[in-house]
Chain A
């Protein structure tokens, strides 16, 4: 199994809603990532979770909150989002970090629309 599975594939939410994006991998990878991709732009890193430690891109607002219940699962909780947060959210995993990084495996993404 070389898949990273993201659910849901599409999500429409209001600015007062609370929702969660789910990401799962069963490859035994030690690191998981959330990237945000605006239309016609490259992905930008939001969070890295590896070795039970969370690293945050300091530019990410607090209305995005990652959670790692176990080593195979990485959720992204969304609260009080703004229309400019509408984007494709990509989850990825890698076997290791640092010298052990070889490649990142990506999920199909969640297309988020904030209305």
Chain B
């Protein structure tokens, strides 16, 4: 069964600190993996897209990693800001004909001053 599991479910950190969010998946065949940021009450916004051959990709203070062998991805946030408070959603796209999107439940991050 294709699944995407994210951990932790929620996280509280202090402003300026770093944090790492995890995403484990059992999706096959794998096409690519995406991290989205969703502010409360708004639509998700894409942070990164990673294909099978990519190990690391950065977008400002966000760095995503992908280990296709262990089927794990992480999203590292550096020097957190209050505006980083949001839900972070891992999405894995399965290939083979028309794609299928499998969403993780998300990690809710709260950055406190």
Are A and B part of the same complex?
Answer: no
Chain A interface residues (CB < 8 Å from chain B): none
